[in-house]
Amino acid sequence: MTLVVDIVKHGKRPSESFSREKLHASIVAACLSVRAPEGQAEATAHAVCDAVIVWLRQRPEVTSTDIRTIAARYLKSHHPDAAYLYEQQHSTI
């Protein structure tokens, strides 16, 4: 079944469709930035993406902040440091 969810972006940027690849890449980057091994980063990203997709099935439209919050919540159980850095990306500067 194809998942069609609109992601409302922050500010004046236009909405876009949910992309598993994009979420996956951002989770992998967060894991690697806390020096997790590449295999672990990939496995964690798969698990988090699966969990986020289950959560998205009930929702046709969410904000990018919702995605970040939910992804960080699932990521926390796999890698708390990566989850912390993932959450902090937009609240560092």
Partner 1 sequence: MDISTSLAAVAFAALIHASFQLSVSVLTLMSGHAIGAKRTQAKVMRLTTGFIFGVAVMTMLVLSFVALVLLHVFGADTPKIVWAAGCGLLVGVAVAIWAFYYPHKKGTILWIPRAVADYLTKRTKATKDSAEAFGLGLSSVLAELLFLIAPIVISAMILIQLPPLWQLAGIGIYTVISLLSLIIVWVLIGSGHTLAGIQKWREENKRFLQFAAGLGLVVLGFYVYVGEIMNVTAGGI
For residue 16, the minimal CB distance to partner 1 (Å) is 17
CA distance 53 to 88: 22
Strand partners, 17: 6
Sign of CA dihedral 52, 58, 60, 65: negative
Three-class SS state of 7: strand
For residue 88, the minimal CB distance to partner 1 (Å) is 5
Q: Whose Cβ is closer to partner 1: residue 4's or residue 93's? A: 93
Q: Whose Cβ is closer to partner 1: residue 57's or residue 90's? A: 90
Are 53 and 71 in contact, with CB atoms under 8 Å apart? no
Q: Whose Cβ is closer to partner 1: residue 17's or residue 69's? A: 69
Which positions lie near partner 1, rule CB under 8 A?
28-30, 32-35, 38, 81-82, 84-85, 87-93
